[in-house]
Amino acid sequence: MRDVAVIGVGLTKFGELWDQSFRQLIAEAGSKAILDAKIEGKDIDALYVGSMSSGRFVDQEHVGALVAEVSGFSQLHIPATRVEGACASGGLAVREGYLSIASGINDIVVVGGIEKMNDVGGTAATEILATASDQEWEAFFGATFPGIYAMIATRHMHEYGTTKEQLAQVAVKNHANGVFNPYAQYQSPISLESVLRATTVAWPLGLMDCSPVSDGAASLVLCAAEKAKKYTEKPIKIIGSGQASDTLALHGRRDICTLDATVYAAKKAYKQANLTPKDIDFAEVHDCFTIAEICAIEDLGFVEKGKGGKAIDNKITTLDGSLPVNTSGGLKAKGHPVGATGVAQIVELTTQLRGEAGKRQVKDAKIGLAHNVGGSGATCVIHIMEAM
């Protein structure tokens, strides 16, 4: 297996982008990544695109080839594949690109992730997101997607004494980080009171415990590590990649408060990187809801199971804490265009490891981890990265 590095990154602004189409967004992110990597169309061996539900959000399937076309590659006939794993679609696209280079088949691959969610309106967007849950045995009975995460929160509060204030602090922290991210959907701080006072969506979760409905795209150029220095001074190597699955329905799992897909994917990624959780300097985790970040830092092994809420109290995960989490603002403040999220996490890791994160730069950032979840934990993909 060959080593693989990121040599270029590109992002669009995340948010309610009424004046931009699906096609414009992915073309913008892709061309930024290609220019950043200083490659040309003819250098690209393959394209992988993560999108959860382009079919329902913009009535367009077959977006692998479409992305190649709108990126200006129709005359190059580059192989282009769309990858789907609900909200982990982007992370899976990164992993498919990674595997295709590691295997020796490809040398340079462009990975994209996109979702254009606002065109359908909020109610429809929520129902489309719910297709990531078990439609026949959860959604049919009236369980919403926030409702499923709310049930994780209720059980976490019951078993470990986690509080609504601790959940709210996750949102406060991620908004504080989003202030320093020019691509974030929300770039203003929020108060603990405003999170606690927000209208209830699915008790115990309020509106400000939830990531927003977002439009946006992200892109990367991956390259065989041995050739990466030809293109950039600062290639960032992927030193671990792990993926795992679990039941679609939360009720089918071994433990309501543990995402075993995260546990197993992390085990694989740590083993490949020959690292332990203690070696990670900072992480981007899948905070689709505030409770999800608390479970993530536990399941990734950063803190013991049940101590996630305490870790928030102790400010371990703030920008100047011992393990900064979601320096980009996370899904909560940066926004969560679902297919783009897993790719955007790798963009943030690369930006931090290049030392180009500006006011949100983590001091002495050497090793970063990205954690991307599909549904309520049926899919998880994790990448660990290091500067070369």
Partner 1 sequence: MKEGVARFWREIPQRYNFIGNKCGTCDTVFFPPRESCPYCRRKSIGKMKETKLAGKGEVVTYTIIHVGPEDFEEQTPYPIAIIKLEEGPQITAQIVDCPLDEVKIGMKVESTFRKIQQDGHTGAIYYGYKFKKQRQ
The minimum distance between CB 160 and partner 1, in angstroms, equals: 13
When asked if residue 126 is in the footprint of partner 1 (CB under 8 A), the reply is yes
- Tokens describing residue 174: 């991620």
- Asked whether the CA dihedral 135, 138, 378, 108 is positive or negative, the reply is positive
Q: Give yes or no for a contact between 232 and 8, defined as CB atoms under 8 angstroms apart.
A: yes
Q: Which candidate, 64, 190, 204, 94, places its Cα nearest to that of 147? A: 204
In the shown chain, the binding pattern of residues 222 to 251 toward partner 1, with x for contact by CB under 8 A and - for none, equals ---------------------------xxx
The yes-or-no answer on residue 223 being catalytic is: no
Q: Is 137 in the site for partner 1 (CB under 8 A)?
A: yes
Site string for partner 1, 35-54 (x = CB under 8 A): --------------------
Q: Of 7, 285, 306, 305, nearest to 170 (Cα)? A: 285
DSSP of 324-346: -B-TT-HHHHH---HHHHHHHHH
Buried b (16+ CB within 10 A) or exposed e, 130-142: bebbbeeebbeee
Q: Extract the runs of DSSP E, i.e. beta strands, from 3-56.
A: 4-11, 46-50
Q: Which region, judged by CB under 8 A, interacts with partner 1, from 63-71, 131-139, 264-272, 366-374? A: 131-139
Tell the smallest beta-carbon distance from residue 145 to partner 1 (Å). 10
The minimum distance between CB 272 and partner 1, in angstroms, equals: 26
Is residue 203 a contact residue for partner 1 (CB under 8 A)?
yes
298 lies in the site for partner 1, by CB under 8 A: no
Q: Which stretch binds partner 1 (CB under 8 A): 2-10, 62-70, 126-134, 179-187?
A: 126-134
Quick check: 147 and 154 in contact, CB under 8 A?
no
Stretch that binds partner 1, among 95-103, 175-183, 198-206, 349-357 (CB under 8 A): 198-206
Instruction: Output 163 or 272, the one with its CB closest to partner 1.
Output: 163
* Residue 204 binds partner 1, judged by CB under 8 A: yes
146 is a site residue for partner 1 (CB under 8 A)? yes
Q: Judged by CB, which is closer to partner 1: 167, or 222?
A: 167
Question: Which residues have a Cβ under 8 Å from the Cβ of 263 and sit 6 or more positions away?
Answer: 244, 299
- Count of Cβ atoms closer than 10 Å to residue 343 Cβ: 34
Catalytic entry in 87, 223, 288, 295: 87
Active site residue 62: no
Q: Which residues have a Cβ under 8 Å from the Cβ of 307 and sit 6 or more positions away?
A: 160, 298
Catalytic residue among 156, 336, 371, 383: 336
For partner 1, the binding residue among 141, 233, 320, 364 (CB under 8 A) is 141
For residue 75, state whether it binds partner 1 (rule: CB under 8 A): no
Q: How far, in Å, CA of 224 to CA of 233, rounded?
A: 14
Closest contact distance (angstroms) between CB of 330 and partner 1 is 22
Amino acid found at 125: A
Query: What DSSP string runs through 27-39?
Result: HHHHHHHHHHHT-
CB of 166 to partner 1, least distance (A): 17
Mask for 147-176, x = binds partner 1 (CB under 8 A): xx-xxxxxx--x------------------
CB of 56 to partner 1, least distance (A): 13
**Is residue 123 a contact point for partner 1 (CB under 8 A)?**
yes
Q: Which of 170, 172, 178 is nearest to 360 (CA)?
A: 178
Cα 152 to its chain centre, rounded Å, is 20
Query: What is the bridge-based pairing of β-strands 108-116 and 236-245?
Result: unpaired
Structure-block tokens of residue 157: 């509060």
Residues that bind partner 1 (CB under 8 A): 123, 126-127, 130, 134, 136-144, 146-148, 150-155, 158, 199-205, 249-252, 256
Q: Which residues are the active-site residues?
A: 87, 336
